[in-house]
Amino acid sequence: MKISIGLSTLDIDDEIIKNDDVLSIGVILKNGPCNDNMCQLIRVPYAEINKDYTMKNSIKLFNPRIEIDTNVYDMISRERENIKIRMSNRKILIKGIHL
């Protein structure tokens, strides 16, 4: 299914969202490749399936049931990106998002 968000499109596999599940899309901050604490933090997008809405600061869609972190939503809606969310080996992969 394709969902328009601002100038971008979000393309989600039909097999990811089943029944009353919620697809949550957010950002995790990870340390860079340095060994000291002077490295910049790297933003990594993630997606997971939950039974209900769990994020506090998020944009919630109800049909299909999706919640997107507000920071991710702002980044997606400003750019002209085609974001693809696919299932691969029981993991959810996000491609095409630039944080």
Rounded Cα gap, residues 55 and 9, in angstroms: 22
List pLDDT tens digits, range 10-64: 899 988 888 889 999 999 988 888 877 778 888 899 999 999 998 888 999 888 8
Structural domain including 43 reads 2-95
Contact (CB, 8 A) for 82 and 96:
yes
Q: pLDDT grade, residue 88 (50/70/90)?
A: confident
Contact (CB, 8 A) for 29 and 43:
yes
Separation of first and last alpha carbons in the chain: 23
Identify the CATH number of the domain in which residue 9 sits.
2.60.300
Q: pLDDT grade, residue 84 (50/70/90)?
A: very high
Is residue 85 over pLDDT 90? yes
For the chain, what is the domain count?
A: 1
- Could you tell me the CA-to-CA distances from 43 to 2, 14, 30, 99 in Å, in that order? 24, 27, 6, 6
Q: Report the pLDDT value the prediction gives residue 38, as an integer from 0 to 100.
A: 78
Q: Report the pLDDT value the prediction gives residue 22, as an integer from 0 to 100.
A: 92
